[in-house]
Chain A
Amino acid sequence: MPSSGLCKGSLFSQYLSYLKRVFITQDFGPSFSSFPKPVSEFILQALPWTVGLLGTTTILSWTLGNSIGLLAGFFHNNRGATILEVIGVILYPIPYYIIALVLLLLFAYIWPIFPLSTTMRPGPLTLEKISNILYYSFLPALALVLAGFGWNILSMKSLAYAAKEEPFVKYARLKGVTSWTNMTSYVFRNALLPQVTALALSIGTIFNGAVVTEIIFSYPGLGLLMRTAVGNGDFNMLYGTISVSIVAVATVTLLIDLIYPLFDPRIRYR
């Protein structure tokens, strides 16, 4: 068992040792409940599942939500826009776990086209395994997408509606720019900026939702690992999973900040 380093050297050297272990060697010690297997091995195994599920659903829900919100805002007098807004209003306040359970009841029990629990087969990544993963990931992903995109619809709708009334949009319309160009190039690009900021700020919340979803669907990701560690009193595992989660959320937030100039030319460094 590697030395914890907690009782050796000065406080500063202990802190350095701690940082080295977390950021360089990713050494969180052995799992207490699966001694002596290192925590990092468990994290390495679980991380791709969470990253895959969370990455896909975040992109999907953000893209879908904003697209629907844009349509609802730009064509706000249209009856279809109102319906889209209704969808957003309905979905936005429903917690992740309610959506997850309702989806389970609908699509795994009443119309059992999807499984109630996740069953991943071991073995190499073949086409069959990929389709297996997609099949078992569909409902957890749908829960996350539905729970996430309600807010995007509502906020993008408001932003698009406000942007549509801006003088430069009116000017473009009077100049004869087509509605499509007006919506995508004038309204969407301007309304998008707060949405990118909101995405960066909400990554932590989205991660929380993924944790709950993984527990309900028995999805073998970081969230379930975290929950199991709590149940088992596996402090090293908790320490490792929480540390990795914090680093992952902070990294994604940083990445979003870094790509912000792509959306807003005003803040590009020249």
Chain B
Amino acid sequence: MYFRKNAVLHLFIIATLLLVVACTAIQPTVDPAAVEAMSTKAATAIADSEGEGTLTDVGTPRHETLIFQTFDRQTANPDQHNPLMNYAQWRGFRELGWGALWETDTGAGESYPEVAAEMPEVLNDEHTQFRVKLKEGIYWSDGVEFTADDIIYTLDAYFEVEDKSNAARIKRITNYVKSYQKIDDYTVEIETNNPAYDFHTVMGVYTWGSNFVILPKHIFEKEEDLVAFRNTKPVTLGPYTVKEFDPNGFWQLWELREDWQRSAWGWMDEDGYMPKYVLYKDFGPEETRTLAFVQNEYDVDTFMSPDSIKAAQSRNEYITTFSDTLPYHNMDDACSYGILMNLLKAPLDKPEVRWALALSLDLKEVGINSLSGEFHASPLSMVDTQVLRPIYFEPLVPWLEAFELPDGYKPFDPNFAKDLATRLLETGVPESELPQGDAAISEAFGIGWWKYDPEEAEKLMNSVGMTKNDEGFYTLPDGSTWELELVIPGDWNKVMQRVGFSIADSWGKAGIKVNVRQVDNAEFGVVQGQPLFSIPELS
């Protein structure tokens, strides 16, 4: 009996220890020998991939295949490739498959002709009539030449399905275009309903893609029901075609066309190398994705948390970011994160309260705690990109510096970036990883942000009858505690999930009672789409 009792106790201890070991094994840190083994393995994997013989999971030579982690993970609609409908959310169509009249270089902020021969020619003073000339010698992937007939047919098809399609882009075009006609095989004229100064970005690419996806007339005209047609094996204008895809929606393989030079943008290839295959694949949740990245199972990731990137880099010297210095990444994304508030609902309808929220937010600590300092702040509701900096932000700096609240307080902090760099140095970030010089620091961390000043915030709150109670939380004018509900993404966006909690913590320290509600992707979209919803949200 004595033995049995002890055995059970021993077993319990062993089980607990093993469970702890199992849990700690999941942490990114492993012993140095293992790290060395991983690095060697990674190097070996690269060496292998450079030679012939190593195959990808989908059977293509690894050294000829560029592999991306899919941004959207699993696509819900893998065999739907009809641009007249909401087609599969693969990332390849916009990048590799379709061809647009005009593309946009988002880094430079400039549009340029892709399958159009030149920028649109404006035909009248009202800016409603445009002539579009097409390049000659561009061919669809099945060898049929691309002509004005495809443009006219696409417009016809858009108008035919406008009330049946579930794709918002269809209405965008049919509401925009009034009439159109073919002039010759390489020229069309289009008239818009209203004066249009954005013709090249509506009919071409603005940022993520074009509302006007050109259809191959010779394929679509054979179909009786354009809405039911799934276009599973699409004929493309771009230099790649779909070779194979997973019916379950986890991967899609693109193959370079043999005649890629005469595709929509084959002419752009300057270095003479286009990978033969491009694979978009989901490597699972971030935990397994990081392991796959370390093992060189894929080449490009666009959505990984700072900690995972660091962990992966520490185990594979070949993993690099855009820059060696903070914030390490290209911050020119046209999409920014921010806090959206419902201004119709008290007390957020009061500017004093909104300013108090801004001044109660210690963004430096939020950014360091949740993003390891890898962020770029913008004090205005525009993204501070290389394009907008000289034409929008810099001219506004004097105004921002002179800007006063009604009580004469100047809330703008032009030294935010410099102070952040100093703070990062204090937290142990090596100097070599910090940008050097005022210009570089400003370029890295932004042109400025609002001051962190809880005292001024309290004055503003008090001015609208919101005072702190015995527990240190702000109350509404009726005496009840003000509870702010902050809607943030759940596990599907770990980066913003952390930022959300960090903001709640910062506001909490300033006396604002915050209830954080994590929601799934779909609900987040629903909340954003309901302007009368009584909660602010983080996006």
How far apart sit A224 and B249, CA to CA, in the bound complex (Å)?
A: 11
Known contacts A33-B77, A94-B19, A122-B246, A216 near B285 by CB under 8 Å = yes
- Write out the residue numbers on chain A whose beta carbons fall within 8 Å of the beta carbon of B80: 34, 37
Stretch from A9-17, A104-112, A174-182, A201-209 forming part of the interface with B: A104-112
Task: Among B14, B34, B86, B292, point to the contact of A117 (Cβ < 8 A).
Answer: B292
Size category of the binding interface on chain B: 35 or more
Taking a contact as CB atoms under 8 Å apart, the answer to whether B284 and A117 are in contact is: yes
Interface string of A106-132 (1 = CB under 8 A from B): 001110100111111110000000000
- Write out the residue numbers on chain A whose beta carbons fall within 8 Å of the beta carbon of B12: 89
Taking a contact as CB atoms under 8 Å apart, the answer to whether A119 and B251 are in contact is: yes
Taking a contact as CB atoms under 8 Å apart, the answer to whether B19 and A116 are in contact is: no
How far apart sit A210 and B400, CA to CA, in the bound complex (Å)?
A: 56
Taking a contact as CB atoms under 8 Å apart, the answer to whether A34 and B77 are in contact is: yes
User: 30 A-B pairs, CB-CB below 8 angstroms?
Assistant: A31-B76, A34-B80, A45-B248, A82-B7, A86-B14, A89-B12, A90-B11, A90-B14, A90-B18, A94-B19, A101-B26, A104-B291, A105-B291, A112-B295, A115-B57, A116-B291, A116-B292, A117-B282, A117-B288, A119-B251, A120-B250, A121-B246, A122-B245, A122-B246, A122-B247, A217-B284, A231-B520, A232-B521, A233-B521, A233-B523
Query: Which parts of B523-538 form the interface with A (CB within 8 Å)?
Result: 523, 525-526
Interface string of B67-86 (1 = CB under 8 A from A): 00000001011001000011
A93 within 8 Å of B (CB atoms): yes
B25 within 8 Å of A (CB atoms): yes
B83 CB, min distance to chain A CBs, angstroms: 15
Taking a contact as CB atoms under 8 Å apart, the answer to whether A234 and B288 are in contact is: no
How far apart sit A116 and B283, CA to CA, in the bound complex (Å)?
A: 7
A59 within 8 Å of B (CB atoms): no
Interface string of A229-264 (1 = CB under 8 A from B): 011111000000000000000000000000000000
- Write out the residue numbers on chain B whose beta carbons fall within 8 Å of the beta carbon of A102: 22, 25-26
Query: Which parts of B53-97 form the interface with A (CB within 8 Å)?
Result: 57-59, 74, 76-77, 80, 85-86
Task: Among B11, B41, B251, B287, point to the contact of A101 (Cβ < 8 A).
Answer: B287
How far apart sit A121 and B279, CA to CA, in the bound complex (Å)?
A: 13
B513 within 8 Å of A (CB atoms): no
Task: Among B18, B248, B284, point to the contact of A220 (Cβ < 8 A).
Answer: B248
A88 CB, min distance to chain B CBs, angstroms: 9
Task: Among B25, B41, B57, point to the contact of A105 (Cβ < 8 A).
Answer: B25
How far apart sit A155 and B294, CA to CA, in the bound complex (Å)?
A: 41
A145 within 8 Å of B (CB atoms): no
Query: Which parts of B1-52 form the interface with A (CB within 8 Å)?
Result: 7, 11-12, 14-15, 18-19, 22-23, 25-26, 34, 41
Known contacts A90-B15, A119-B250, A109 near B244 by CB under 8 Å = no
Interface string of B294-305 (1 = CB under 8 A from A): 110100000000
Taking a contact as CB atoms under 8 Å apart, the answer to whether B295 and A116 are in contact is: yes
How far apart sit A46 and B249, CA to CA, in the bound complex (Å)?
A: 11
Measured CB to CB, the nearest residue on chain A to B8 is A89
How far apart sit A215 and B282, CA to CA, in the bound complex (Å)?
A: 12
Taking a contact as CB atoms under 8 Å apart, the answer to whether A231 and B295 are in contact is: no
B166 within 8 Å of A (CB atoms): yes
Interface string of B168-181 (1 = CB under 8 A from A): 00000000000000
Interface residues of B (CB under 8 A from A): 7, 11-12, 14-15, 18-19, 22-23, 25-26, 34, 41, 57-59, 74, 76-77, 80, 85-86, 166, 244-251, 281-285, 287-288, 291-292, 294-295, 297, 492, 520-523, 525-526
Closest A-B pairs by Cβ, 10 of them: A233-B522, A220-B248, A119-B57, A34-B77, A33-B76, A89-B11, A231-B521, A117-B284, A218-B284, A90-B15
Taking a contact as CB atoms under 8 Å apart, the answer to whether B288 and A116 are in contact is: yes
- Write out the residue numbers on chain A whose beta carbons fall within 8 Å of the beta carbon of B85: 35
A175 CB, min distance to chain B CBs, angstroms: 30
How far apart sit A122 and B246, CA to CA, in the bound complex (Å)?
A: 6
B316 CB, min distance to chain A CBs, angstroms: 12
Taking a contact as CB atoms under 8 Å apart, the answer to whether B86 and A35 are in contact is: yes
Size category of the binding interface on chain A: 35 or more
Taking a contact as CB atoms under 8 Å apart, the answer to whether B297 and A233 are in contact is: no
How far apart sit A93 and B18, CA to CA, in the bound complex (Å)?
A: 11
A67 within 8 Å of B (CB atoms): no
A117-B250, A121-B244, A216-B288 given; name 18 further pairs at CB < 8 Å.
A34-B80, A35-B85, A36-B166, A82-B7, A93-B15, A94-B19, A98-B26, A102-B22, A109-B294, A109-B295, A115-B57, A116-B295, A122-B245, A218-B283, A224-B74, A232-B76, A233-B520, A233-B525
Measured CB to CB, the nearest residue on chain A to B10 is A86
- Write out the residue numbers on chain A whose beta carbons fall within 8 Å of the beta carbon of B57: 115, 119
Taking a contact as CB atoms under 8 Å apart, the answer to whether B247 and A231 are in contact is: no
A268 CB, min distance to chain B CBs, angstroms: 38
- Write out the residue numbers on chain B whose beta carbons fall within 8 Å of the beta carbon of A234: 76, 522
- Write out the residue numbers on chain A whose beta carbons fall within 8 Å of the beta carbon of B15: 89-90, 93
A30 CB, min distance to chain B CBs, angstroms: 10
Taking a contact as CB atoms under 8 Å apart, the answer to whether A116 and B284 are in contact is: yes
- Write out the residue numbers on chain A whose beta carbons fall within 8 Å of the beta carbon of B250: 117-120, 218, 220
How far apart sit A224 and B244, CA to CA, in the bound complex (Å)?
A: 22
How far apart sit A145 and B287, CA to CA, in the bound complex (Å)?
A: 22
Known contacts A89-B15, A90-B15, A218-B282, A120 near B291 by CB under 8 Å = no
How far apart sit A93 and B13, CA to CA, in the bound complex (Å)?
A: 13
How far apart sit A192 and B526, CA to CA, in the bound complex (Å)?
A: 51
Taking a contact as CB atoms under 8 Å apart, the answer to whether A105 and B244 are in contact is: no
Measured CB to CB, the nearest residue on chain B to A219 is B248
Taking a contact as CB atoms under 8 Å apart, the answer to whether A121 and B59 are in contact is: yes
- Write out the residue numbers on chain B whose beta carbons fall within 8 Å of the beta carbon of A86: 11, 14
Taking a contact as CB atoms under 8 Å apart, the answer to whether A98 and B19 are in contact is: yes
How far apart sit A37 and B166, CA to CA, in the bound complex (Å)?
A: 12
Taking a contact as CB atoms under 8 Å apart, the answer to whether B520 and A230 are in contact is: yes
A49 CB, min distance to chain B CBs, angstroms: 8
How far apart sit A60 and B212, CA to CA, in the bound complex (Å)?
A: 54
A228 within 8 Å of B (CB atoms): yes
Measured CB to CB, the nearest residue on chain B to A92 is B15
How far apart sit A96 and B8, CA to CA, in the bound complex (Å)?
A: 23
How far apart sit A235 and B141, CA to CA, in the bound complex (Å)?
A: 38
How far apart sit A109 and B316, CA to CA, in the bound complex (Å)?
A: 13
- Write out the residue numbers on chain A whose beta carbons fall within 8 Å of the beta carbon of B295: 109, 112, 116
- Write out the residue numbers on chain B whose beta carbons fall within 8 Å of the beta carbon of A93: 15, 19
How far apart sit A31 and B79, CA to CA, in the bound complex (Å)?
A: 14
